[in-house]
């Protein structure tokens, strides 16, 4: 049984928070040691751990952000009652929202803390100097807040600190040389702040350091290295090193030689450091080689122009698994030597360069390559020719992810089955045109296909519905014009079990809305900006698992009732605007099973009575109910809820 005074302190802490997602729903019983996020000592019953980190899970599909998969967090402030928990050694409140307030100074009085994580909490203000009193602290993470000012000198008192992450704030001034006194430090992240001056040579005293991340948000050259300093060569345990916007790195061959000699280095990032062809190519492979342990290299955002860089890399580091040369000015083909030597390379990012279609032959024989990213290049040829250049070598068997989006590729969609392992193909924002051939064959393992923002016409081939692994299909912003029931019929093969995201917005698709219940996994459906018409059937229900539904700017008619939405417990994005003949007639006391974040019902028919069901929606971020035929007075609860959301 927990100690009563500590239970009362936790309840005061709870009372200062807004718990929209029920993270503290178990905090009602008499024994606080059994509450969610609490761990007590088996001997003394004192609270030792408080772990209430939020969750904002970002959904990525093959290097692309596809939305928020889930989120759970609290809002409010951290109540000073936590000072009662003097035996607390673990405190994690990361990924919650404590907007526009400073980190509470009283946390510095929790003298037994070993672990403190307040990252991603929207804190402002300065780092409390009182944190220097946490003499037992081993882990401190304040990353990705809005902290200002300098790093307090008092942090040098944290002699047991092993992990320090202050990245992604607005900290300024010089990096304190006293950080070099934290002899137990293994992880140091100070990147994406506004530090200036020289990187202190005292960092070379951190003999246990394994991960070091330094740099600024912008490329103004305010953070520098001192040529002639040899502190980096002392960090022989370093496995991860990242420099961002250290502009005078391109004047120091000696510093790059020190990096190359780090014996355990596995990941190296030199991003936006103004590295040039001349500077790099002057490092002769006969005298310069990276450690054989190096597997990940990121040289994005520099000023490379010649594909000779690829040749140079194949001579100085042949064990790379990941290589990022995006956001440079690279062009031209490289020799076949690159493909033969780089026989461990799995991921190659060449986006935002000026490669042309014929240059792809250089990568056709990298038989280990899984991912090739080339959006925003100068690919202007027709798609069949481009894919032929790629498929001419063994990469056609290994390639899983191919991104050729945001180019000027022409032609239509050819047969893709030659890429036998392909899982994702992104061709959006090109100049593809014509009909998709009915007999087109998709790779057996294809999960993501994006051909949006082109000029494709006609309809969806039936073969798309036979792509049994297909999870996401984006055909938005084209000129597809078949009837929507036929589209659904063509997708009704085995793809109906796997399809999670279907984007068909901004086309000319017409016809009525059919029953979509055959899509047992569908979570996101976008039909906006088409020519859908007719009455929505009274007897269909939208799918239980649907999270986002967008049918705005069509000509749908009929009456939507609670019945249509009865099973939609996961819906959080609801967009029906600009269907002027569509009526939403819900029961007066209807309580929706969902909590919406985005409510957009402008120019539908909601009135004349103000819709009472909106009172149940307390998590929305934006709402549009304009021109909805509401004649009655807007109730006070709506204005109160709106002010609260602000």
What's residue 61's pLDDT? 53
Whether residue 317 is predicted with pLDDT greater than 80 in this model: the reply is yes
What's residue 173's pLDDT? 94
Q: Is residue 80 part of a domain?
A: yes
Q: What is the mean pLDDT of residues 351-379?
A: 94
What's residue 58's pLDDT? 58
By C-alpha distance, which of 639, 630, 633 is closest to 601?
Answer: 630
Band of the pLDDT at 646, cuts 50, 70, 90? low
- Which residues lie closer than 8 Å to 434 by C-beta, 6 or more apart? 411, 412, 456, 457, 458
Give whole-number Cα distances, 561 to 168, 183, 290, 548, 572, in Å: 46, 66, 66, 18, 18
What's residue 497's pLDDT? 97
Q: Which residues pair with 139 in a beta bridge?
A: 115, 163
For the residues of 128-158, what is the DSSP string, one character each? -GGGGG-TT--EEE--SS--BSPPPGGGGG-
Q: pLDDT > 90: what percent of the chain?
A: 84
Q: Is residue 458 part of a domain?
A: no
Peptide bond into 74 cis (omega under 30): no
Q: What is the mean pLDDT of residues 430-434?
A: 98
What's residue 411's pLDDT? 97
Residue that terminates a domain, selected from 149, 172, 195: 172
* CA–centroid distance for 12 within its chain: 35
Q: Is residue 261 part of a domain?
A: no
Q: Is residue 501 part of a domain?
A: no
Q: What is the DSSP letter of 389?
A: H
Q: What is the mean pLDDT of residues 625-642?
A: 88
Q: What's the chain's average pLDDT?
A: 93
Q: What is the pLDDT of residues 132-164, one digit of tens each?
A: 999 999 999 999 999 999 999 999 999 999 999
The answer to which of 51-60, 244-253, 278-287, 560-569 has the lowest mean pLDDT is 51-60
By C-alpha distance, which of 154, 194, 14 is closest to 93?
Answer: 14
Residue that terminates a domain, selected from 127, 157, 172: 172
Q: Is residue 526 part of a domain?
A: no
Q: What is the mean pLDDT of residues 89-116?
A: 95
Whether residue 571 is predicted with pLDDT greater than 60 in this model: the reply is yes
Whether residue 299 is predicted with pLDDT greater than 70 in this model: the reply is yes
Q: Is residue 109 part of a domain?
A: yes
Give whole-number Cα distances, 328 to 349, 355, 377, in Å: 11, 11, 10
The answer to which of 354-363, 473-482, 559-568, 574-583 has the lowest mean pLDDT is 354-363
**Overall size of the chain counted in residues:** 646
Measured between its terminal Cα atoms, the distance across the chain in Å is 41
Q: What is the distance between the alpha carbons of residues 606 and 375, in angstroms, rounded to a whole number? A: 43
Q: What is the DSSP letter of 232?
A: G
Q: Is residue 89 part of a domain?
A: yes
What's residue 13's pLDDT? 97
Q: What is the distance between the alpha carbons of residues 248 and 250, in angstroms, rounded to a whole number? A: 5
Contact 72, 97 (CB under 8 A): no
Whether residue 627 is predicted with pLDDT greater than 60 in this model: the reply is yes
Domain tally, the chain: 2
Q: Is residue 407 part of a domain?
A: no
What's residue 285's pLDDT? 86
- Which residues lie closer than 8 Å to 43 by C-beta, 6 or more apart? none
Q: What is the distance between the alpha carbons of residues 494 and 489, in angstroms, rounded to a whole number? A: 12
- The pair phi, psi for residue 411, each rounded to 5°, is 85, -170
Whether residue 63 is predicted with pLDDT greater than 80 in this model: the reply is no
* H or E segment to which residue 525 belongs: strand 524-526
Q: What is the mean pLDDT of residues 489-503?
A: 97
What's residue 60's pLDDT? 53
Q: What is the DSSP letter of 483?
A: B
Domain that holds residue 604: 533-645
Residue that terminates a domain, selected from 172, 188, 208: 172
The CATH number for 86's domain is 3.80.10.10
Whether residue 643 is predicted with pLDDT greater than 70 in this model: the reply is no
More confident residue, 115 or 644: 115
């Amino acid at each position: 049984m927990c100690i009563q005074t500590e239970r009362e302190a936790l309840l005061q802490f709870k009372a200062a928070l807004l718990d929209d997602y029920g993270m503290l729903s178990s905090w009602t019983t008499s024994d606080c040691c059994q509450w969610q996020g609490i761990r007590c000592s088996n001997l003394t019953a004192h609270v030792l751990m408080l772990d209430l980190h939020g969750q904002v899970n970002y959904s990525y599909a093959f290097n692309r952000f596809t939305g928020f998969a889930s989120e759970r967090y609290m809002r409010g402030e951290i109540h000073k009652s936590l000072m009662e928990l003097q035996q607390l050694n673990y405190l994690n409140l990361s990924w919650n929202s404590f907007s526009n307030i400073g980190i509470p100074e009283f946390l510095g009085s929790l003298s037994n803390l070993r672990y403190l994580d307040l990252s991603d909490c929207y804190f402002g203000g300065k780092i409390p100097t009182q944190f220097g009193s946490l003499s037992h602290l081993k882990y401190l993470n304040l990353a990705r807040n809005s902290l200002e000012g300098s790093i307090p000198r008092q942090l040098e008192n944290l002699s047991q600190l092993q992990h320090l992450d202050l990245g992604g704030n607005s900290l300024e001034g010089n990096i304190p040389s006293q950080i070099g006194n934290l002899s137990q430090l293994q992880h140091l992240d100070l990147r994406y702040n506004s530090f200036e001056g020289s990187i202190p040579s005292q960092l070379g005293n951190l003999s246990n350091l394994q991960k070091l991340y330094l740099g600024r948000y912008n490329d103004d050259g305010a953070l520098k290295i001192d040529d002639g300093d040899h502190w980096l060569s002392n960090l022989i345990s370093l496995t991860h090193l990242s420099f961002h916007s250290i502009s005078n790195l391109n004047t120091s061959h000696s510093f790059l030689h020190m990096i190359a000699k780090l014996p355990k280095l596995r990941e190296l990032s030199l991003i936006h450091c103004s590295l040039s062809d001349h500077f790099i190519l002057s490092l002769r492979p006969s005298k310069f080689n990276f450690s054989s342990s190096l597997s990940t290299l990121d040289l994005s955002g520099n000023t490379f122009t010649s594909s000779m860089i690829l040749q140079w890399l194949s001579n100085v580091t042949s064990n790379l698994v990941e290589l990022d040369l995006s956001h440079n000015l690279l062009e031209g083909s490289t020799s076949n030597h690159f493909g033969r030597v780089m026989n461990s390379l799995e991921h190659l990012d060449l986006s935002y360069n000026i490669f042309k279609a014929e240059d792809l032959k250089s990568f056709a024989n990298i038989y280990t390559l899984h991912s090739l990213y080339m959006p925003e290049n100068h690919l202007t040829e027709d798609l069949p020719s481009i894919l032929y250049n790629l498929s001419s070598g063994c990469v056609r068997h290994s390639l899983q992810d191919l991104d050729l989006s945001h180019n000027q590729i022409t032609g239509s969609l050819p047969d893709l089955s030659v890429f036998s392992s392909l899982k994702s193909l992104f061709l959006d924002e090109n100049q593809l045109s014509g009909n998709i051939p009915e007999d087109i064959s998709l790779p057996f393992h294809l999960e993501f296909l994006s051909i949006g923002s082109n000029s494709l016409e006609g309809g969806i081939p039936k073969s798309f519905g036979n792509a049994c692994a297909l999870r996401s299909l984006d055909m938005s912003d084209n000129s597809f014009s078949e009837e929507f029931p036929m589209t659904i019929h063509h997708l009704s093969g085995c793809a109906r079990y796997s399809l999670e995201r279907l984007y068909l917005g901004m086309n000319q698709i017409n016809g009525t809305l059919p029953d979509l219940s055959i899509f047992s996994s569908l979570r996101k459906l976008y039909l906006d900006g088409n020519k859908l018409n007719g009455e929505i059937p009274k007897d269909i229900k939208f799918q239980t698992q649907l999270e986002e539904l967008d049918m705005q700017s069509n000509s749908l008619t009929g009456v939507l009732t609670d019945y249509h939405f009865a099973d939609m417990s996961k819906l959080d994005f609801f967009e029906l605007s600009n269907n002027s003949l569509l009526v939403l007639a819900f029961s007066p006391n209807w309580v929706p099973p969902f909590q919406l974040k985005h409510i957009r019902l402008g120019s539908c028919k909601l009135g004349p009575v103000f819709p009472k069901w909106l009172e149940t929606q307390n998590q929305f971020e934006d709402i549009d109910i304009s021109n909805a035929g509401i004649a009655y007075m807007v109730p006070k609860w709506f204005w109160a809820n709106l002010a609260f959301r602000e």
